[in-house]
Structure 1
Amino acid sequence: MDKINLLIIVNIISLFISLFLAFFLFTLKTKYKTSNLLFAVFLLLNAIDVSEPLFNMMVDGPSNLGMFKSTFVFLQIPIFYLYIISVCYADFKLKPKYLLHLLPYLIVNLILLPRFYTVDAASKMSFIQNRQSMIEFQFIHILIHFQIVIYMITVFRVLRKSKKLYLENFAGKSVSSYNWLFQFTIVLTILYLVALLKNILKFSDYPHISEWLKIGLLVSSLFVFCWYLFKALNNPDIFRNIDSKLRLVSELVSEENSREQSTIAEQKHNEELVKLRKYMVEKKPFLNPSLTIQDVSNEIEIPVRDLSLLINHQIGQHFYDFVNTYRIENAIEILKDQTKNRVTILEILYQVGFNSKSSFNTAFKKHTGITPTSYRKNL
């Protein structure tokens, strides 16, 4: 089987799966419809992008439709960026301001208008054949590189801030969910960088390498998208915890530092700290696997802002780690209790407020330096 036939077969399979997954997301009944819609659009744009070999078989020579189709690549990363925001923030809504993300796509099509879209077939062919010297193509290549770098940096910043807000305000579901979304973004970034290398080689003296890279991208992107959707659809609630109006503790601390500190304020912090610790020991709210800082705030009647500063700044722990400390101490008490030596590690972790073995093991090792199983054996 030659390289061209292999490319067509892989292309057909890739196109079919992308369209199938997009259709599935469009028709899936869920309360998170916006996120699914955005990812479905992302998959459709990817399907259009990878359909180039099939399109070239059906269309003879350069055409307006072919060029217009190729510019859809400028919509892929903005859509992915909006998708990331939608899964990180519970209050995300599509707004007119997001239309600004269409600007690169519109600019590219406008600059192609005079010397490609509005000319005859012969001029189009000449334009493509001399593309390396055409200023339009040089500008497009620079713009796509710039767009990928800017958007990916922005996506990583969104993920970093969301994870930090989660740690400062929640002690429920495992923070590992943000970690694998971060990993997915890294993999996607690598795929885009390889795609850029493919395009560079396409216009060089090594076009055959570009074709093999294209096959590799088609296959790898399929596996990546299927893996991500499998994870996301099996964990539909993992990201819907953050309110975009929440502020980082570092921002609150800056405000506090700008105010005059007093002995009264210090005394107030100490009283609130005693109240908080007493509540954690006596009421054991950490046993609730979905505990939030808002829940604690309501119970001990300390404003969320003050409580967040108290835990994250005064104590020096994220709310997530602060609550887990009490959970681990409770787990240690159970492990030390000889009357409960038949209780399994799995039963203990659920009993003290954790909801996954991995998050329990990570927190336990962070607190004691060893795993729960090793701790029990050393007793």
Structure 2
Amino acid sequence: MNIESFLSVMSAMSVFVSLLLAFFLLTVKTENKLANRLFTLYLLFFAIDNIGIFINVDFIKDHFNLEFFRWSISSLIIPVFYLYIISVCFTDFRLKTKHLLHAIPFILTNLVFALRLYFLDNAAKIHFYDHRSEMPELYVFQFMLGMQIVFYSIGTFLVLKRYREIYQENYTNAKTSIFKWLFQITTVLFILYYLSIAKNVLRYTHTEALWIWANVIMQILVLIITCWFVLKALNYPELFRGIDSKLQLARDILPKENENNAAIKGSQSDLIKAQISTLKQYMTEKEPFLDPSLTIQELSNQIEIPVRDLSVLINHHMKQHFFDFVNEYRIQKAMHILKNPLKSDLTVLEILYEVGFNSKSSFNTSFKKYTNQTPTAYRNAS
């Protein structure tokens, strides 16, 4: 088997696995249907783009306009992935007319192709296709795709940054696997896309052997990553749970809460001290942290402090994320149980559930953060 044939086989396998995952996402039961549909759309666009490696040349020559249109679809891949990330992060996300702006590169590309390619005679199309690497339209198109990768990579990581900040300030026992999955998939995909930029530069260096081997390496990576997606989807079909994007961060609330009057500031300081004391007493006596799904809104309702004030109180005045604030009480209770000889028969797994955690990895991470020891080592040392 020569390199070109091997490349075609790898590409065909990637397309097949992508379509298999797309079918799975359309049929699996989930509350976040929009996210699954967007990821399905991403996989379909990816598959359409990837079939160009093994598609029959005779078929292309009989359907040039279809091939040119297929090229333009690659400009939709990254925007759809960006919308997918937003839809997973935020439960209140809905597709709106304004999101059609993400399709502008696709529309402009097809307008250019309509003026320059779609209505050419067949001989002119053959000439363009055979010399496509030398055509200015393809130079501009490749540059545009490269700019897409840069801008959307920045935008996607900013979305993830906001998601993490909101979760830490408003929720406890966050499903860290959600953020890890989104961060991993984003990092891996954009590394792949930046490598594709480097690979496309080779197209214009007239080093055909290097270009072919670069394609082989890329296809191997694509196949590995696509199979990884499938394994994740099969093992964690209910992986995603979003948050409300309208929740404010403490730093966004603070400017509206500040007053210049010194007397008012003094009274506010006394109020803050009283609220902190009340909050700590409530956490110790009522132990609301035992609820594994406790949110700042729920704690606000229980303690009768407005959620905005409570957010500023914990995240700004107490210098802790709500996530860390609650988990500290859980760890303290776990430490007390681990020291108690009357409860030595309880396993670490039973203890973590008893104190409000619902994940062993999250419990171990938090416990080590506060004690510099694992739960088992702490118990043995007591």
Q: TM range, normalised to the smaller chain? A: over 0.9
Equivalent residue, structure 2, for 1:154: 155
Equivalent residue, structure 1, for 2:184: 183
| Distance in 2 between residues matched to 1:53 and 1:241, nearest whole Å | 37
More displaced 10-residue stretch of structure 1: 212-221 or 70-79: 212-221
More displaced 10-residue stretch of structure 1: 360-369 or 51-60: 51-60
Is 1:347–2:350 an aligned residue pair? yes
Contact 1:173–1:238 (8 Å) recurs in 2: no
| Distance in 2 between residues matched to 1:232 and 1:283, nearest whole Å | 39
Q: Secondary structure of 1:166's match?
A: helix
Equivalent residue, structure 2, for 1:23: 23
Could you give the per-residue CA deviations for residues 271-297 of structure 1, whole angstroms, max 9, x where no partner exists?
A: 211111111111111111111001100
Task: Please report how far the alpha carbon of residue 133 of structure 1 lies from its aligned counterpart in structure 2 after TM superposition.
Answer: 4.7
| Distance in 2 between residues matched to 1:374 and 1:118, nearest whole Å | 74
Task: Please report how far the alpha carbon of residue 38 of structure 1 lies from its aligned counterpart in structure 2 after TM superposition.
Answer: 0.5
Please, what is the CA RMSD of the aligned residues? 1.9
| Distance in 2 between residues matched to 1:158 and 1:71, nearest whole Å | 26
| Distance in 1 between residues matched to 2:161 and 2:246, nearest whole Å | 16
Could you give the per-residue CA deviations for residues 318-359 of structure 1, whole angstroms, max 9, x where no partner exists?
A: 000000000000011011111222222121111111111111
| Distance in 2 between residues matched to 1:223 and 1:259, nearest whole Å | 59
Contact 1:115–1:127 (8 Å) recurs in 2: no
Equivalent residue, structure 1, for 2:3: 3
Contact 2:28–2:237 (8 Å) recurs in 1: no
Contact 1:173–1:355 (8 Å) recurs in 2: no
Q: Secondary structure of 1:355's match?
A: coil
Identical positions, percent: 46
Q: What residue identity is the alignment partner of 1:31?
A: E
Contact 1:167–1:318 (8 Å) recurs in 2: yes
* 1:369 alignment partner, one of 356, 368, 372: 372
Contact 2:199–2:211 (8 Å) recurs in 1: yes
| Distance in 1 between residues matched to 2:151 and 2:333, nearest whole Å | 46
Q: What residue identity is the alignment partner of 1:4?
A: E
Could you give the per-residue CA deviations for residues 352-371 of structure 1, whole angstroms, max 9, x where no partner exists?
A: 11111111111111111222
Is 1:98–2:86 an aligned residue pair? no
Task: Please report how far the alpha carbon of residue 14 of structure 1 lies from its aligned counterpart in structure 2 after TM superposition.
Answer: 1.7
Equivalent residue, structure 2, for 1:295: 298
Task: Please report how far the alpha carbon of residue 189 of structure 1 lies from its aligned counterpart in structure 2 after TM superposition.
Answer: 0.4
| Distance in 2 between residues matched to 1:360 and 1:111, nearest whole Å | 56
Instruction: Give the number of equivalent residue pairs.
Output: 379
Contact 1:89–1:239 (8 Å) recurs in 2: no
More displaced 10-residue stretch of structure 1: 79-88 or 104-113: 104-113
TM-score, length basis structure 2? 0.93
| Distance in 2 between residues matched to 1:59 and 1:279, nearest whole Å | 72
Equivalent residue, structure 2, for 1:281: 284
Counterpart mapping for 1:38-117 below 5 A: 38-61=38-61, 63-117=64-118
| Distance in 2 between residues matched to 1:259 and 1:155, nearest whole Å | 38
Contact 1:335–1:341 (8 Å) recurs in 2: yes
Contact 1:335–1:376 (8 Å) recurs in 2: yes
Contact 2:167–2:174 (8 Å) recurs in 1: no
More displaced 10-residue stretch of structure 1: 314-323 or 49-58: 49-58
Inter-CA distance 217–324: structure 2 relative to 1 (3 Å threshold):
same
More displaced 10-residue stretch of structure 1: 197-206 or 303-312: 197-206
In structure 1, stretches of 5+ residues that fail to align are: none
Inter-CA distance 229–335: structure 2 relative to 1 (3 Å threshold):
same
| Distance in 1 between residues matched to 2:381 and 2:71, nearest whole Å | 63
Inter-CA distance 235–323: structure 2 relative to 1 (3 Å threshold):
farther
TM-score, length basis structure 1? 0.94
| Distance in 2 between residues matched to 1:233 and 1:82, nearest whole Å | 22
Counterpart mapping for 1:171-210 below 5 A: 171-210=172-211
In structure 2, stretches of 5+ residues that fail to align are: none
Is 1:255–2:256 an aligned residue pair? yes
Q: What residue identity is the alignment partner of 1:205?
A: H
Contact 2:90–2:243 (8 Å) recurs in 1: yes
Q: Secondary structure of 2:36's match?
A: helix
Contact 1:194–1:213 (8 Å) recurs in 2: no
| Distance in 1 between residues matched to 2:76 and 2:260, nearest whole Å | 45
Q: What residue identity is the alignment partner of 2:174?
A: K
Could you give the per-residue CA deviations for residues 216-267 of structure 1, whole angstroms, max 9, x where no partner exists?
A: 3333223323323443554455542410111111111233336645222112
Q: What residue identity is the alignment partner of 1:262?
A: K
| Distance in 1 between residues matched to 2:335 and 2:321, nearest whole Å | 21
Equivalent residue, structure 1, for 2:32: 32
| Distance in 2 between residues matched to 1:259 and 1:180, nearest whole Å | 45
Q: Could you say which structure has the greater relative contact order, defined with CA pairs below 8 angstroms and 6 or more residues apart? A: 2
Contact 2:331–2:367 (8 Å) recurs in 1: yes
Task: Please report how far the alpha carbon of residue 144 of structure 1 lies from its aligned counterpart in structure 2 after TM superposition.
Answer: 0.8
Q: Secondary structure of 1:91's match?
A: coil
Task: Please report how far the alpha carbon of residue 176 of structure 1 lies from its aligned counterpart in structure 2 after TM superposition.
Answer: 4.2
| Distance in 1 between residues matched to 2:76 and 2:180, nearest whole Å | 25
More displaced 10-residue stretch of structure 1: 341-350 or 151-160: 341-350
